[in-house]
């Protein structure tokens, strides 16, 4: 482990520590949890096991398959291109992807904006959210960015365009492959690969050394597990697990994370560490200090883009650019303040930023779906606020 990390990993929050002791090993096999308040590290822990079968302990510098934790990172890359004038949030994406013209059920092919792609209001969907294994995304052979499909990014976007739009762009919210399409748009507009753009526009400015679309060191990756009884079971290559009832589920390819030939999924494809995810969130929380984005553009990330529409659960959340945004704390039943950002990742991750309190929390686990939307997520939130009671 990096010496600087091990020295900094001293502070812990007692309620958070007690929670982590309770959840291992039957609810979470392993976890890395970081908490920063006004930039100061308040908690850093690596608990449980990175691999249960070999009893390998979790490390703070463990690599994780980030899944949808990729979304705010790649959204930031794309918004840096907006800040540079290379892209425009409200211009039709067909300016850069002229063949991307999915149709509505009535045959019309409306314009779709970059803003709509990033806010999940474009009319696109996800294959794993279809109720039918023979749904339109499945029939088109679309990849959600976490399976073993050998498509190129351009071919996947072409297939996405073959499926009908689910609604008029801008009129509704639905979680989608919009960020993947936005990644293809960024490649088309710049002539650079998404990996090169990620390195140039995010990794280098923030000093990220571990985060990329694949790793050559499989031994650094945390082994993923699936919530089960009496204990989580080890996720198998190609196993399909549904995150929500009534959906066909995600086909997980563990090998994808070590295969450089797989297309870079802007919405789900990164591998990285908790500290580097935290570095990005902190840079977004304090853009005047980081200079990562113009403040006005960063503010749009934290502004609901589709009126009051957003994720159906929990209540009170809308969606900005790259993550959910708290609109109504009372409706959500949360101690977080209005304007808080949050999201997660299907391999078992959650994070949130409460800008009003200068608070950033990252929890990367190796247990799906408990670590993404199980009881642990709210338990961790409440433990953090209990330990930092009275923070301003």
Tell me the catalytic residues: 68
Q: Which residues pair with 225 in a beta bridge?
A: 234, 367
Going by C-alpha positions, the residue among 199, 343, 353, 235 that lies closest to residue 284 is 353
Going by C-alpha positions, the residue among 118, 223, 263 that lies closest to residue 176 is 118
User: 83 and 72 in contact (C-beta within 8 Å)?
Assistant: no
Going by C-alpha positions, the residue among 257, 254, 227, 231 that lies closest to residue 242 is 227
Per the listing, tokens 């509704």 go with 172
Q: CA-based Rg of the chain, rounded to a whole angstrom? A: 20
Token pair in block for residue 260? 């450089």
Going by C-alpha positions, the residue among 259, 255, 223 that lies closest to residue 237 is 255
Going by C-alpha positions, the residue among 1, 26, 371, 365 that lies closest to residue 210 is 1
User: 352 and 317 in contact (C-beta within 8 Å)?
Assistant: no
Characterize 137-165 residue by residue with b for buried, 16 or more Cβ atoms within 10 angstroms of its Cβ, and e for exposed: beebebbbbbbebebebeebbbbbbebeb
What phi and psi values does residue 17 have, to the nearest 5 degrees?
-60, -40
């Amino acid at each position: 482990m990096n010496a600087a990390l091990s020295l900094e990993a001293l502070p812990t929050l007692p309620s958070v520590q007690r929670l982590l002791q309770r959840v291992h090993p039957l609810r979470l096999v392993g976890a890395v949890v970081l908490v920063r308040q006004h930039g100061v590290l308040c908690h850093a822990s690596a608990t449980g096991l990175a691999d249960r079968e070999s009893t390998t302990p979790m490390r703070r510098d463990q690599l994780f398959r980030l899944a949808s934790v990729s979304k705010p990172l790649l959204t930031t890359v794309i918004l840096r291109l907006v800040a540079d004038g290379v892209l425009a949030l409200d211009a039709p994406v067909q300016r850069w992807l002229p063949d991307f013209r999915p149709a509505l059920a009535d045959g019309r092919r409306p314009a779709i904006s970059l803003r709509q792609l990033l806010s999940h209001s474009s009319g696109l969907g996800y294959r794993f959210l279809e109720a039918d294994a023979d749904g339109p995304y499945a029939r088109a052979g679309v990849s959600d960015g976490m399976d073993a499909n050998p498509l190129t990014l351009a071919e996947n976007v072409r297939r996405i365009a073959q499926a009908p739009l689910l609604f008029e762009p801008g009129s509704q919210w639905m979680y989608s492959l919009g960020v993947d399409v936005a990644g293809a748009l960024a490649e088309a507009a710049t002539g650079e690969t998404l990996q090169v753009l990620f390195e140039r526009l995010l990794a280098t400015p923030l000093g990220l050394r571990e985060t990329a679309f694949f790793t050559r060191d499989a031994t650094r990756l945390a082994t993923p597990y699936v919530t089960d009884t009496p204990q989580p079971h080890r996720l198998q290559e190609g196993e399909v697990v549904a995150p929500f009832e009534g959906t066909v589920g995600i086909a997980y390819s563990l090998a994808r994370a070590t295969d450089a030939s797989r297309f870079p999924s802007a919405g789900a494809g990164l591998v990285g560490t908790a500290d580097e995810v935290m570095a990005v969130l902190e840079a977004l929380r304090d853009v005047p200090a980081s200079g990562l984005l113009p403040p006005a553009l960063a503010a749009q990330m934290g502004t609901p883009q589709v009126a009051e529409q957003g994720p159906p659960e929990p209540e009170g959340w809308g969606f900005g650019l790259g993550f959910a945004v708290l609109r109504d704390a009372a409706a959500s039943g949360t101690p977080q303040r209005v304007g808080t950002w949050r999201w997660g990742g299907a391999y078992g991750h959650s994070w949130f930023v409460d800008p009003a309190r200068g608070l950033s929390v990252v929890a990367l686990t190796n247990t799906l779906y408990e670590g993404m939307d199980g009881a642990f997520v709210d338990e961790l939130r409440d433990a953090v606020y209990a330990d930092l009671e009275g923070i301003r």
